[in-house]
Amino acid sequence: MGSTVLSLRMDGELLDRLRAHAAKRGMSVQDYVLRTLIRDDFDERFKAAVEETEKFYGVGGGGGRGGGGGPPRT
């Protein structure tokens, strides 16, 4: 897998904040931004997978907890 360059133009204040966040973690700004993008992408894919699973199993809007889990009572 190769790499590609992404160039960004950003406000000086934003860059300063990113530098501070990256420094707290001992990272470069590039690594910090990349890790943030990867984490956000994972969160979106995980949420989509959970929604697909709920749709498959027919889980309603009850949050998936405390719904009994057994057959309906007659």
The 10s digit of each residue's pLDDT in 29-73 is 999 999 998 888 888 888 999 999 999 888 765 554 544 454 555
For residue 14, is pLDDT > 90? yes
The pLDDT value recorded for residue 3 is 84
> Per-residue pLDDT for 25 more than 90?
yes
Task: Specify the pLDDT at position 59.
Answer: 77
Domain ranges, ordered by start, for the chain: 30-56
- Residue 15 CA from chain centroid, whole number: 22
Q: What is the DSSP string of the chain?
A: -----------HHHHHHHHHHHHHTT--HHHHHHHHHHHHHHHHHHHHHHHHHHHHHT--SSTTSSS--SPPP-
CA distance 10 to 12: 6
pLDDT at 60: 63
